[in-house]
Structure 1
Amino acid sequence: MSISRRQMLKSTGAAGVLALGAPSILRAADVINVGVTAPLTGLSAILGETLANCYKLAAAQLNADNGIGGREVNLIIEDNQTSTKGAVDKARKLLFSDNVDVMMGGILSLERTATLSVTGPAKKLYIYPTYYEGGECDPFMIATGGVPNQQIDNYVPWLVENVGKTCYIQGSDYAWAQVSSKIIQEAFEKHGGEVVGVDLFPFGTQDYGPSMQKVREVDPDMVWTMVVGNDAITAVKQYRSFDMKPAYVTQAFDEVFTTSALPDGEAEGMLSAQSYFTTIDSPENNAFVAAYRDMFGENALVNSISEAAYTGFMLYAAAVEQTGGTSDPELVEAITSMTLEAPQGTVSVSPETNIMSTNSIIGRVRADGLFDIVENFGRIKANDPNCSLS
């Protein structure tokens, strides 16, 4: 797994995407402790198990292939309970009691911000896997999930051309949906369309009926949903129960949600923009999905957040190999100098923002809840106007 700076990593080597090999002799006394906070309970629990599983897969593959430079990976996963307090408490435990070498994980923005409030002052590397609203500019945070321009800039003109010009937004009332809704409005205006309404709901909303009635009144070409976590299940079911006619589009839903959280066919026809879908047909992704199913079941599915978590783990492993140690500034420099063949495709992390250049892919939900890929715009560089690190 040894690499040189700016050398492209291949999936058969440092990226570690292939199936497990025979265990090598590890230096058990020399361990790399990896701390993960994942929402295993609370609002985001619907996605937390898959997130934790991808960290487990990465650790297992690395340990089966001589660990990281002969050092065994010790993975410690804590439930942050999808709460600010839980994320802070678990980050403190991992960092100061378990003495982890790196922090990873988190889904909602509140989880990221809470974790960063611990790792930032400690100048400890934190690798966040979920697409988010941008605006975080910590030199020790690496984001592998992307920011709005990577999901929205190519998606909106495609929607205007292929679906229609008018859009109504429904979303959860927190940072990611708040910022994204503004960017979506600007993008529709730029491309000759219009957002005709925006409704943002507090976490735990049970009745979306009044918003559905407003949608019926304005009759848009599409409804763009950014309702998240368990609330999204309620929102989708009510959308269907109201027999809504506009196209249902999003950049939030993935196959874990559309197959396990909803009844068969409930999400069929929805469009979603993500950096990854299980159905990507490439050697890297086919090997990744096969290894995941071998470990967690033949029908187990991965989503974009968890693929980004896996990719971040492999970037970290390659950086430790390259630098020969766990010095956080050196690891950040190494990670931002690499190109990696990940399951989603070729990725790299910009030293200007510490955000990964993710792929931008549009998928349409099939009857079985998986996604047919209808457009792949390839790798998109993150644009975060509120962050400049270089």
Structure 2
Amino acid sequence: MIREYPVGILFSATGSYGTVARSMRNGARLACKQINADVGLGIRLDPVEKDPGGDLNAYGPAVEKMISDGVKHVVGCYTSSSRKEVIPIFEKRDALLWYPTHYEGFESSANVIYTGAAPNHHMLPLVDYVTRHIGHRVFCIGSNYIWAWESNRVLREELVLRQGSVVGERYLAVGETDVDCIVQSIFEANPDVVFNSLIGESAYSFFRAFRAACKARGIDQAKRYPVASCNLSEPELDRIGPDAIDGHLSSSVYFASINTATNRRFVDSYRAAFPEEKAPSAEAEAAYAAMILLAQSLRDAGTDTLRAVKNCAANQCFSAPQGEITIDPDTFHTSLTPRIGLSRHDGQFDVVFDAGRPVAPDPYLINSTAIREAPPRRTALRIVS
């Protein structure tokens, strides 16, 4: 007997951050196709897609329409602002959001399952790597919303534990591409490394402008002012362009260059399904995994009601392209394998650090230190007057 369930796919495949969100939609679509082709699974998913176009005000009505049409589970959202916009609707309407994006952490909702990386999967390994191999003086740039604000806060606190410092911090509105003032501020602060949490077109413009400004000054940008991100993926390298594509660090749990049979099959299937795309992103892999985990939970529950599916989602496992992942029953985040990549001219990443095992999620950074040995975490006291 095949049970059929409608599922939502909610990504802004158009708009200023459409490159990444489109890859996420692709990952979810690919999973649906494979699930529906697997007769033995006993599940058929009927995708209901909405594209808010990067307009924050469009997310709520899109979710309301999906739920009114019978959808109880939605794989979707890229930005943290869009996630926070729709969570109250999921809580009110007793539906479940499967959120497949690396994010800043410090959140818990009974109506969200988080299949993207938590801050102990990306922020802590990056801080550890940067302070060990590059330097302790960091300049932060970001898009002006919660992802960048919180990422920079965590970065600052972790740097302090390693005797480092933030020497500058600048923000741009989402989609803003005038980055000249930021570039000049970086030269004036003269940091060891630039931490980037810009998204979409803002990020692509910055990478191009910063590389060009360094070249005009006779500076090897990748060596003198390396840029490190927790949100840089293969499709975005393509958007940056060939003149500024290489030498950038990205802290993630997935890269398309991971050399395993499971990942090679995933990449081949992705490229066959979406020939216009050169490689899947980490977010595409997370959306793919979210849809698979949802299908497995629906199969085990025999219904799409929230309580039954969440009960079956707890401890759900999947041999994903990145490796083994498991849903933690306490936080409903996933155990993932931290990695750091260095971008190449061909639009791929060389993996320069691999934790070698899945790491339990710690969204509130209660138990975590960096993935490798690091100085003991101390409480950072701040005296104000």
Identical columns (%): 26
1:360 matches 2:342: no
1:381 is matched with 360
Distance 1:281 1:53 in 2: 21
CA distance in 1 between partners of 2:38 and 2:362 (Å)? 36
**What secondary structure is seen at the aligned counterpart in 2 of 1:91?**
helix
The more displaced of 115-124 and 274-283 is 115-124
SS at match of 2:39: coil
Partner amino acid, structure 2, of 1:77: E
Q: Give, as a single letter, the amino acid of the residue that structure 1 aligns with 2:251.
A: A
Q: Which residue of 1 aligns with 2:5?
A: 32
- 1:257 paired to 2:233: no
- Name the counterpart of 1:214: 185
Query: Matched residue of 2:203: which SS?
Result: helix
Matches within 5 A, 1:1-390: 27=2, 30-66=3-39, 68-69=41-42, 71-96=43-68, 98-243=69-214, 244=221, 245-259=224-238, 261-297=239-275, 300-377=278-355, 378-385=357-364
The amino acid that maps onto 2:188 is E
State the distance in 1 between where 2:130 and 2:337 align: 18
1:68 Cα deviation from its structure 2 partner: 4.7
How far 1:130 sits from its partner (Å)?
Answer: 0.7
Bigger share in helix: 2
Q: CA offsets, 1:336-361, max 9 Å, x none?
A: 22222111111112222211122211
Q: Is the 8 A contact 2:20 2:235 kept in 1?
A: yes
* CA positional deviation for 1:298: 8.0
CA distance in 1, matches of 2:111, 2:186: 43
Question: For the structure 1 residues 67 and 50, does the alpha-carbon distance in structure 2 shift closer, same or farther, using more than 3 Å as the test?
Answer: farther
**CA displacement 1:121-142 (0-9 Å, x = unmatched):** 1121110111112233211210
CA RMSD of aligned residues (A): 1.8
Aligned 8 A contact 2:177 2:201 in 1: no
Q: What CA deviation, in whole Å up to 9, does each residue of 1:114-157 have, x standing for no partner? A: 22222111121110111112233211210111222221112212
Over residues 143-195 of structure 1, what are the superposed CA-to-partner deviations in whole Å (9 max), with x where a residue is unaligned?
A: 11122222111221211111112111111111011001011011112123222
Q: Contact (CA 8 Å) 1:83, 1:110: kept in 2 or not?
A: no
Counterpart of 1:347 in 2: which secondary structure?
strand
Q: Is the 8 A contact 1:50 1:302 kept in 2?
A: yes
1:170 aligned counterpart, secondary structure: strand
8 Å CA contact retained: 1:39, 1:48: yes
Alignment partners' CA distance in 2, 1:122 and 1:135: 23
CA–CA distance in structure 1, aligned partners of residues 18 and 359 of structure 2: 29
Tell me how far 1:386 sits from its aligned partner.
9.1
Amino acid at match of 1:33: P
Q: Residue 377 of structure 2 corresponds to which residue in structure 1?
A: none
Q: Which amino acid aligns with 1:57?
A: L
- C-alpha distance in 2 between matches for 1:151 and 1:116: 23
Q: Which amino acid aligns with 1:126?
A: L
Gaps of 5+ in 2: 215-220, 367-385
* 8 Å Cα contact 2:142/2:196 also seen in 1: yes
Specify the SS of the correspondent of 1:117. Answer: helix
- Separation in structure 2 between the aligned mates of residue 278 and residue 81 of structure 1, nearest angstrom: 26
- Cα separation, 2, equivalents of 1:46 and 1:113: 21
Deviation at 1:263, TM superposition (A): 1.5
Write the deviation string for residues 215-239 of structure 1: whole angstroms up to 9, x where unpaired.
Answer: 1122111111111012111111111
Asked if the contact 1:140–1:329 (Cα under 8 Å) also holds between the matched residues in 2, the reply is no
Letter in 2 for 1:158: Y
Q: For 2:199 and 2:118, how far apart are their aligned partners in 1?
A: 16
TM-score normalised according to structure 2 size:
0.88
The answer for the alignment partner of 1:12 in structure 2 is: none
The gaps in structure 1 that reach 5 residues or longer are: 1-25
Pairwise CA distance, 1:267: 2.1
Q: Does the C-alpha gap of structure 1 residues 299 and 40 become closer, same or farther in structure 2, counting only changes over 3 Å?
A: closer
What do residues 45-89 of structure 1 show as CA deviations (whole Å, max 9, x unaligned)?
1212211111111111111112852x4221111101222221111
Residue identity matched to 1:32:
Y
Q: Secondary structure at 2:338's aligned position in 1?
A: strand
TM-score normalized by the length of structure 1: 0.87
1: CA distance, partners of 2:199 / 2:365: 24
Partner of 2:228: helix, strand, or coil?
strand
**Contact 2:9/2:74 (8 A) holds in 1:** yes
Q: Which whole-Å CA distance do the structure 2 matches of 1:247 and 1:232 have between them? A: 14
How far has the Cα of 1:299 moved from its partner?
A: 5.7
SS of the counterpart of 1:359?
A: coil
Q: Decide whether aligned partners of structure 1 residues 189 and 322 sit closer, same or farther in structure 2, where only a CA change above 3 A counts.
A: same
Q: Note the C-alpha offset of 1:330.
A: 1.8
The equivalent residue for 2:381 is none
